[in-house]
Amino acid sequence: MKNEIIDFWEKHYQAQYMTVCIVSNTTEHFDTAKSLFSELSTSNPLRAKPAITKPLYTKKDLGKFICIRPVKELHKLNLTFALPAINQLYKHKMVSFIAHIIGDEGTGSLYESLKGQGLINGLSAGNGISGQNFKDFNVSIELTELGESRLDLIMTQLFSFINFMKTHVPPEYLYTEQQKMAQIGFEFQESIKAIKLSNQIALNMQHYEPEDILFGDYRMDGFEHAHWNQIFSFFEPENMRITLVSQNISTDREAHWYHTLYSVQDIDKAVINELKVIQPNEGSFAYPSPNPYLEKEIK
C-alpha cells in the first residue's frame, strides 16, 4: 500500500498540475507567499502528465439493475446514465438545463404524471460524479409503496418524457429564464469565508478558461442544439444503471467494508428493447410555463 501511494503521488501530485488561489485583503504577505509557492513548484521535477483512459463504467457495467438493502426504511430509485467528459461544453450549461426540465414539478411535468398516479413522493435530476474522462447524469426518485411495485410504469414514463424532450425543442423563454437566474446568482452571491472562496477559485482554475474563473459556474451563452442532441444520445436504456434501495428486496451479496447487502443483475433485454421504442406521450407532457416572477431586467 505504501508503494502504491508513493507511486500515485509521484505521477499526479506535481506543481505543473496545481492551481493556487490566495485570498487576502492586504498585499503585505503576498510577495512572501508568491516566493514560497515558486520555490515549492521549481523544486519538484517535471514529469509528463499521465492520461486517464480507463472509463468510469465499462460496457459490462452498464445495463445493470442493482438492489441495495438499507438498515433504515427507504424506498428510492436512482437511474444513472453514463456520459463522456463534457467540461468543454460548460459555456452553455446544457446538462444543467436538461436537469432543470426533468426535475420540474409543474403542469405537464414527469413529476406531476408520476405523483398523480401515486407512484412517487419526490423526483430530482442532475449531475452525478465526474472526472477527467467521465461524467454521469442521475434521475433520483423517492418511491411510494405502490411505485416500488410498478417500476415498469415509472421507467416507461421516464423514457416517454426523455423522448418528448428529444423530439421537441424547448421554448426559448425556458433557457432565457435560466440565464437570468444564473446572472442573479452571480450578481447577488452571499459572502463566504476566504478559505472557501480560495478553494472554489482554485478548483475553477482546473476546469475553466482564465476569463471564466469567477463566472464559469454561471455562464450560459445560449441554447446549443448540437449539445442538446449530443447529451440525449447517451440517454438510452442500454447506457443506464438502475439502483433500487429498499428493505423489500432479495440480495445475494455482501459488501466487504460496510457489510451492505446487495445484488446485481442484468436489465432484461426485453425491457431494454421495450424502452428503446417508447413514444413520447404527446397529450400528457409539456415544458414548464413561463415564470411570471422573473422580471425582464435584473435590478
Residue 241, helix vs strand vs coil: strand
- Confirm whether 50 is domain-assigned: no
Q: Which three cell numbers mark 184?
A: 442573479
Are 81 and 140 a contacting pair, CB within 8 Å?
Answer: no
Instruction: Give the end-to-end CA distance of the chain in Å, rounded to a whole number.
Output: 57
- Confirm whether 164 is domain-assigned: yes
- Confirm whether 281 is domain-assigned: no
pLDDT tens-digit profile of 213-252?
999 999 999 999 999 999 999 999 999 999 999 999 999 9
Question: Mean pLDDT over all residues of the chain?
Answer: 91
Supply angle C-alpha 57, 58, 63, rounded to 5: 80
- Quick check: 44 pLDDT over 80? no
Which helix or strand (DSSP H or E) is residue 195 part of? helix 194-207
Are 78 and 257 a contacting pair, CB within 8 Å?
Answer: no
Asked whether residue 13 falls in the same domain as residue 161, the answer is no
Asked whether residue 36 falls in the same domain as residue 109, the answer is no
Asked whether residue 12 falls in the same domain as residue 100, the answer is no
Q: Which three cell numbers mark 185?
A: 446568482
Asked whether residue 39 falls in the same domain as residue 64, the answer is no
Asked whether residue 39 falls in the same domain as residue 133, the answer is no
pLDDT tens-digit profile of 3-17?
989 888 877 777 778
63 sits in the region (left: phi over 0; alpha: psi -120 to 50; else beta) called: left
- Quick check: 199 pLDDT over 70? yes
Q: What's the CATH code of the domain at 65?
A: 3.30.830.10
Provide the number of structural domains found in the chain.
2
| Residue 20: alpha-carbon gap to chain centroid | 26
Asked whether residue 254 falls in the same domain as residue 212, the answer is yes
Asked whether residue 27 falls in the same domain as residue 85, the answer is no
- 28 lies in which domain range? 2-43
- Confirm whether 239 is domain-assigned: yes
Contacts of 245 (CB under 8 A, 6+ apart): 68, 69, 70, 74, 75, 76, 77, 78
- Confirm whether 291 is domain-assigned: no
Helix axes 94-102 and 172-187, enclosed angle (nearest 10): 110
Residue 52, helix vs strand vs coil: coil
- Confirm whether 284 is domain-assigned: no
- Is residue 42 very low, low, confident or very high in pLDDT (cuts 50, 70, 90)? low
| Residue 213: alpha-carbon gap to chain centroid | 20
- Confirm whether 282 is domain-assigned: no
Helix axes 151-167 and 94-102, enclosed angle (nearest 10): 130
Asked whether residue 182 falls in the same domain as residue 227, the answer is yes
- Confirm whether 52 is domain-assigned: no
Asked whether residue 197 falls in the same domain as residue 225, the answer is yes
Alpha carbons within 13 A on the beta-carbon side of 143: 25
Asked whether residue 38 falls in the same domain as residue 86, the answer is no
Query: What is the per-residue pLDDT for 279?
Result: 87
Residue 66, helix vs strand vs coil: strand
- DSSP tag of 69: E
- Is residue 106 very low, low, confident or very high in pLDDT (cuts 50, 70, 90)? very high
- DSSP tag of 277: T
Asked whether residue 34 falls in the same domain as residue 168, the answer is no
Asked whether residue 64 falls in the same domain as residue 188, the answer is yes
Neighbours of 245 (CB within 10 A): 17
pLDDT tens-digit profile of 157-178?
999 999 999 999 999 999 999 9
Q: Which three cell numbers mark 36?
A: 514560497
CA distance 45 to 60: 39
